[in-house]
Amino acid sequence: MNLPFLSREQLVVGVDIGSHAVKVCQLKRTEKGYAVATLGSSVLPEGAVDDGALNEPEAVAKIISELFKNLKIKSKKVGFSISGYSVIVKKVNLNVMEDDKLEEHIMAEAEQYIPFDIEDVYLDFQDLKTNTPDSDRTDVMLVAAKKEIIDGYLEMLQSLGLQPVIVDVDGFALENTYEYNHPKNENVALVDIGASKMNINILSGGISVVARDIVVGSRQLTDQIQNAFDLTYEEAEALKLGNVPANEKQPQIETIFTSTCTQWVLEIKKAIDLYHSNHPDEPLTKLVLSGGGSKVLGLTDFLTSETSLPVELFNPFENMVVNSKMIDPEYLKAIGPEMAIATGIAIRPSAV
């Protein structure tokens, strides 16, 4: 299908740097929405990134450089996202103010909301405009990120000749992709499970009302399977994902799975309970699962039974144009859940 493309430079290349892998996605704008230009992922050396911190910037830079080369990406404008201990997302309720007054207030009062020294963070905010004719108060989403972490990513990307123009937050990037593919009036829990963290973002009527990062992830399962059976990392991963039969290992794997995934479910339930306590008349319709951890064998069924919500795997490319001669649709569907954040960044137009 030949569609007229707008300038590729108008969109950034989405770069999602996790603790297990780097995911890259480049989209194009078409008359029918977005088209998938190219995408890919590459596993990072163990420990190169931990809880959002760049421990080995040279190793990460090498992986990103190879991905861009292999995917033949020429664009230099990139966006990346952050999560973990270095970023705080907080919703505060304030009197309605003009934008300049709101910024002035946030900067003056930020220390009461943020548990970091204000000199050490970058601050951003968005007025959610939740005020009504009966109330002159509005919810404001406040984001603070540690400068040393952000600067580390900026320096690493710039060392490759790339131009980082957008810094996003994992949960918001996920929300971005989801809302491109679905109606904005849904009440839905988005849960992204990575290797070492889980992001929960609950949307109500198109607005993020609960957002949190939890330091648990699918590497827990791999490590426990690896230790229990004295396997290599790759062998343990294959067992975790159901790519090889478990045979006599099945009972022990089920025990590991139940204990670890029960911990995940408890965190998800806490967020859902918080949502229900504040929105008793707006029940959630479903839970949408993404991230590499979403591929754990049997997880969707387990979450369905434990939360009593329909659970579906997220396909961020559901409503995008795909050239099946260039990208295998089955590959795209399989890799979709773990590409959700990179795609959410790639949707963003360049601000520069």
pLDDT tens-place string over residues 169-184: 998 899 989 998 887 8
**Cα torsion for 118, 352, 159, 61, to the nearest 10°?**
90
What are the phi and psi torsion angles at 196 (to 5°)?
Answer: -130, 5
pLDDT tens-place string over residues 262-297: 888 999 999 999 999 999 999 999 999 999 888 888
Class of domain 8-224+236-346: alpha beta
Residue spans per domain, the chain: 8-224+236-346
- In Å, how far from its chain's centre is CA 253? 27
Unique residue bearing structure tokens 């607005």: 207
Task: Give the strand pairing for 311-313 and 286-290.
Answer: parallel
Divide the 352 residues of the chain into consecutive groups of 10 and give the mean pLDDT of each group. 39 93 94 91 89 90 96 94 85 87 86 86 87 86 91 96 93 90 88 89 87 84 89 86 85 88 91 93 94 87 93 93 88 91 88 50
Taking a C-beta distance cutoff of 8 angstroms, is the pair 118, 111 a contact? yes
pLDDT of residue 260: 87
Q: Sheet harboring 87-95: ordered strands across?
A: 87-95, 137-146, 121-127
